[in-house]
Amino acid sequence: MALSPVLIGARTIRPLWYEAGKVMMAVDTLVHNFLHRTGILGECGAFHAYGPACYQQNGCAEIIRAISERIDARALNPRFPVVFPRFVQHAIWRFCAADGLNLCNGNRIDDRKACEISYCYLRQKCHRTPLKLYKNQ
């Protein structure tokens, strides 16, 4: 993903690089687990474990692309494209990452339980679905 900002930065001199950079995304465990915990995967009927299924039909990447089509990214920055999947993926990652907002991650949430973070921005809409369901909790 380090290449994405380089491709996006070449917008004026390499338009095709820009087109590639704005749709490039990586679904890591933070992004996948966010989609699971919030209930987005369930709402989309996309129950799958983290891995190759994240990039298959009805996987995490496709869901992020669909979400990005419902957001006009220009409202956040007029220089952004209307549809900006890379920005949506990166925003989810920053929401979860320890170096970002550090909210929706395994360091803060017991994977066997529903999230208990009461001050989370998304709490009212989040399903708080546990990642792991154990018989003996």
122 part of a folded domain: no
Instruction: With beta carbons less than 8 A apart as the criterion, state whether 80 and 88 touch.
Output: no
127 part of a folded domain: no
Q: How many domains does the chain have?
A: 1
123 part of a folded domain: no
110 part of a folded domain: no
10 part of a folded domain: no
41 part of a folded domain: yes
Q: What is the pLDDT of residue 10?
A: 86
Instruction: With beta carbons less than 8 A apart as the criterion, state whether 27 and 61 touch.
Output: yes
Q: What is the pLDDT of residue 134?
A: 57
Enumerate residue ranges in the chain where pLDDT < 70.
Answer: 1, 134-137
Instruction: With beta carbons less than 8 A apart as the criterion, state whether 73 and 67 touch.
Output: no
Domain of 63, in residue numbers: 27-73+87-96
Q: pLDDT tens digit string along 21-43? A: 888 899 999 999 999 999 999 99
42 part of a folded domain: yes
118 part of a folded domain: no
Backbone Cα Rg of the chain: 16
User: Whole-prediction pTM value?
Assistant: 0.88
Q: What is the pLDDT of residue 1?
A: 67
